[in-house]
Amino acid sequence: MQLFTERLLLRDITVDDKQAIFDYRSDSEANKFQSWIPKTLEDVEGFIQRNSKEFNQPESWYQILITDKETKAVIGDVGIHFFGNENLQVELGITLNKNFQRKGYASEALKGVINFLFNDLKKHRIMTSVDPDNIDSLNLMERIGFRKEGHFVKSLFWKNNWVDDVIYALLQEDWIKK
């Protein structure tokens, strides 16, 4: 799996990436809205081994790495959840190294993935689930064209608490019109 954007290469994660992934994913403050924060390099190895081996498989998560096309620096990762028996809907999640935030990398990476999902794989709908306190992610979703579909109150049991969940989505027909 490889996708190219203007500045980025989005590619499969390998075991050789474990240190770079650990470096940005283990920062609990920067990743306070993430469900997975590794404590050891072994945690990252397990994460890489559990990653689906086949792209575009129903009911699977597939993680791709965001890297700088020129320097090869690891910027973050995008999780792609293919769901539904018809395999026409996708959920996205993104994590960026805090040193690369606020530089347009998240928008560029997500737009690249979205273009591929809609134009090449002909997906119908892409959605994302965002913590309402994660203002940067809420703004990101709106900036790249997602519409807010709902704010669900205390609907998600996360880190031993009931928390709110905001759902954003985008239809293929709306993306193509842009």
At 177 the pLDDT is 75
User: Residue 56 above 90 pLDDT?
Assistant: yes
Residues 89 and 94: their CA atoms lie apart, in Å, by 17
Report the mean per-residue pLDDT for the chain. Answer: 94
Q: How confident is the model at residue 176 (pLDDT cuts 50, 70, 90)?
A: confident
The angle at the Cα of 100, spanning 96 to 106, to the nearest 5 degrees, equals 55
At 82 the pLDDT is 96
Phi, psi for residue 160 in degrees, rounded to 5: 65, 25
Which residues are registered as beta bridge partners of 143?
Answer: none
Which residues are registered as beta bridge partners of 83?
Answer: 89
Q: How confident is the model at residue 31 (pLDDT cuts 50, 70, 90)?
A: confident
Q: Report the pLDDT averaged over residues 20-47.
A: 90
User: Residue 178 above 70 pLDDT?
Assistant: no
User: Does the predicted TM-score (pTM) go above 0.85?
Assistant: yes
